[in-house]
Amino acid sequence: MKNPLRSPGHFPYVRGLVLAAFLLVLTWVVGWAHPAAVGNRPVVVEVDLKDMVEPLSAGFVADGILHANAIKAGAVLLNIDTPGGLESSMRDIVQAILESRVPVIAYVAPSGARAASAGFFILLAADVAVMAPGTHAGAAHPVFLGAPDLGKTMETKIENDTAAYIRSIAERRGRNAKLAEDGVRESSSYTEEESLQGRLIDAVAGSPSEIFQKFDGKTIKRFDGSTTALNLHDPVLEPFAMTSWQRFLFYIVDPNVAFLLAGLGVILLYVEFTHPGLVAPGVAGAIALVLALFAFHLLPVNVTGVVLLLTALVLFILEAKTPSHGVLAAGGVVAMVLGALMLINSPWPEARIRLSTALGVTLPLAVIAFILTRLALAARRAKAITGSAGMIDLVGIAQTDLEPDGKILVHGEIWAARAKARVSKGARVRVRQVDGLTLEVEPEVHPV
């Protein structure tokens, strides 16, 4: 049989396959070698850094910058509005900016936004730093979240290290290192005009389009000393969106949501422990508690707050076991509310648990824990009403003379019975013990 691929009629088919493969490889090479564009318009990847700087937000920003590098975008527009956050997460974002082959434009916006604390470092680390009218930046003195008193020497070391870090960034970017260092040592904060006049930023702009017009075609110096010309002519903005999983994680990392999950988890697990076999409350409670612990792992937790919360749970249980006319319960409510308010050690109000959340979790938790504990204790003390143990102390009627064996009627049934003393037929007897299928009884004595 002839090989169909060697048949003269199939040469066009083979040439078509080779040509298609060649065009595919060429497209890939050209796409890698040239920046992403829609028509002749460059692509600018837009990444938002909102709220606190923490591991999740740092990972999201780094992913956005990596995406821009992967598609060879013209630039990254990093929108900043943050009160600050964790130093380790801030350094991760700064490192991603410095290593990016694509220029990063940091933009503090909209009006009323800020790049405080960790956000100040990120703003100064960008290739182009811009602020919108009515914004401010600075106040970057290190705050020791959730840590005990480190001592003057250690605090000075950390301050000096942080000041040197921001100074090195500012000097390398050609920004005012003195004002940058004052933002760390003196917690100085600057408006957009003060930042522009002090050479901390490159421009003040009211919108992204104004930024693109100002810097299109400008040659900038990169962090490694090389230069590049910005192509920002009529760019296509490509928002870099969070995945559903990232949005879910961001939601539960909110301290108020984390505290609600912790309270729900404790209640559901307690229901499972006091009512074994329900299963569903135990599973749901375990999931809620694990999610809460994950969130608290990413937050600056105060040990004192944890101790107060545990104390509150103990007081609720003690109130149910040894009633104190509400004194222990009231102490538990106070301890839990104070523990919730102190749990997150943060200088930013938006990163702490609100009083309304603390009360909303504490009061139902106190009531439910009190009621469930009371019910569990009552059930434990209650006399068994089924099985052999349920026969103890029941009163029956002798159906025959007990000399000492005979028959009695108890609980609507005829039982074999044995008495230590003779019991006449028709007399009332009380069950004292169950020996197999024989009841040990004694005459019922009526009080005089």
| Co-location of 262 and 143 in the same domain | no
Residue 308 has pLDDT above 50, yes or no: yes
Which of 40-44, 140-144, 166-170, 407-411 has the largest mean confidence?
Answer: 166-170
Residue 363 has pLDDT above 90, yes or no: no
Contacts of 269 (CB under 8 A, 6+ apart): 281, 282, 285, 286, 289
| Domain count across the chain | 3
Q: Are 103 and 128 within 8 A, CB to CB?
A: yes
- Domain assignment present for residue 448? The answer is no
Confidence band (pLDDT; 50, 70, 90) for 30?
A: very low
Provide the 3-class DSSP secondary structure of residue 129: strand
Mean pLDDT, range 287-315, rounded to an integer: 86
| Co-location of 55 and 124 in the same domain | yes
Which of 31-35, 45-49, 243-247, 437-441 has the largest mean confidence?
Answer: 45-49
Provide the 3-class DSSP secondary structure of residue 205: coil
**Which of 7, 88, 111, 157 is labelled catalytic?**
157
Q: Are 203 and 214 within 8 A, CB to CB?
A: yes
Which bin fits 283, alpha (ψ -120 to 50), beta or left (φ > 0)? alpha
| Co-location of 277 and 195 in the same domain | no
Burial of 117 (0-12, 13-18, 19+ CB in 10 A): buried
**165-212 tens-digit pLDDT:** 999 999 999 999 999 999 999 999 999 999 999 999 999 999 999 999
| Co-location of 305 and 396 in the same domain | no
Q: What is the pLDDT of residue 209?
A: 95
| Co-location of 206 and 180 in the same domain | yes
Q: What is the pLDDT of residue 227?
A: 93
When computed from its CA atoms, the radius of gyration of the chain, rounded to whole angstroms, is 37
Q: How far apart are the first and last CA of the chain?
A: 119
CA gap 345, 144 in Å, rounded: 9
The domain boundary residue, chosen from 192, 215, 241: 241
H helix intervals, 298-348: 303-321, 327-343
Residue 446 has pLDDT above 80, yes or no: no
**83-112 tens-digit pLDDT:** 988 888 999 999 999 999 999 999 999 999
Q: What is the pLDDT of residue 348?
A: 64
The percent of residues in the chain predicted with pLDDT above 70, rounded, is: 81
Say which amino acid occupies 121: F
- Domain assignment present for residue 33? The answer is no
| Co-location of 103 and 216 in the same domain | yes
The domain boundary residue, chosen from 220, 241, 262: 241
Q: What is the pLDDT of residue 375?
A: 66
- Domain assignment present for residue 395? The answer is yes
Q: Is 88 an active-site residue?
A: no
Mean pLDDT score of the chain: 82
**Which of 89, 117, 188, 346 is labelled catalytic?**
117
| Co-location of 205 and 102 in the same domain | yes
| Co-location of 51 and 194 in the same domain | yes
Instruction: Tell me the residue range of the domain where 414 lies.
Output: 388-443
Count, in order, helices (H) and strands (E) of the chain: 14, 17
| Co-location of 361 and 398 in the same domain | no
| Co-location of 227 and 273 in the same domain | no
Mean pLDDT, range 128-152, rounded to an integer: 80
Compute the half-sphere exposure of residue 22: CA atoms within 13 Å on the CB side of its CA: 6
Alpha-carbon torsion 401, 402, 404, 406, what sign?
positive
Say which amino acid occupies 187: S
Q: Output b/e per residue, 407-435; b: 16+ Cβ within 10 A.
A: bbebeeeebebbbeeebeeebebbbeebe
- Between 232 and 246, residue with greater pLDDT: 232
Q: What is the pLDDT of residue 331?
A: 85
Residue 394 has pLDDT above 90, yes or no: no
| Co-location of 432 and 357 in the same domain | no
Provide the 3-class DSSP secondary structure of residue 400: coil
Q: What is the pLDDT of residue 90?
A: 94
- Domain assignment present for residue 164? The answer is yes
CA distances from 33 to 30, 73, 235, 409 (A): 5, 11, 19, 99
CA distances from 414 to 19, 398, 436 (A): 99, 10, 14
- Residue 407, domain CATH: 2.40.50.140
CA gap 123, 35 in Å, rounded: 24
List the 189-191 sheet strands across, edge first.
114-116, 136-138, 189-191
Mean pLDDT, range 120-142, rounded to an integer: 94
- Domain assignment present for residue 28? The answer is no
Q: What is the pLDDT of residue 379?
A: 61
Residue 205: phi and psi, rounded to 5, are: -140, 145
Q: Which two tokens stand for residue 447?
A: 């009080």
Burial of 137 (0-12, 13-18, 19+ CB in 10 A): buried
- Residue 190, domain CATH: 3.90.226.10
Nearest residue to 54 (alpha-carbon basis) of 29, 76, 87 = 87
Q: What is the pLDDT of residue 27?
A: 42
DSSP 206-256: SSHHHHHHHHTT-EEE-TTS-EEE---SSPEEEE-PPPHHHHHHHHHTSHH
Q: Is 117 an active-site residue?
A: yes
- Domain assignment present for residue 300? The answer is yes
Say which amino acid occupies 384: A
Residue 12 has pLDDT above 60, yes or no: no
The domain boundary residue, chosen from 354, 381, 408: 381
Q: Are 131 and 201 within 8 A, CB to CB?
A: yes
Strands of 309-447, DSSP E: 395-398, 405-410, 413-419, 428-435, 438-443
- Domain assignment present for residue 3? The answer is no
- Domain assignment present for residue 270? The answer is yes
| Co-location of 189 and 67 in the same domain | yes
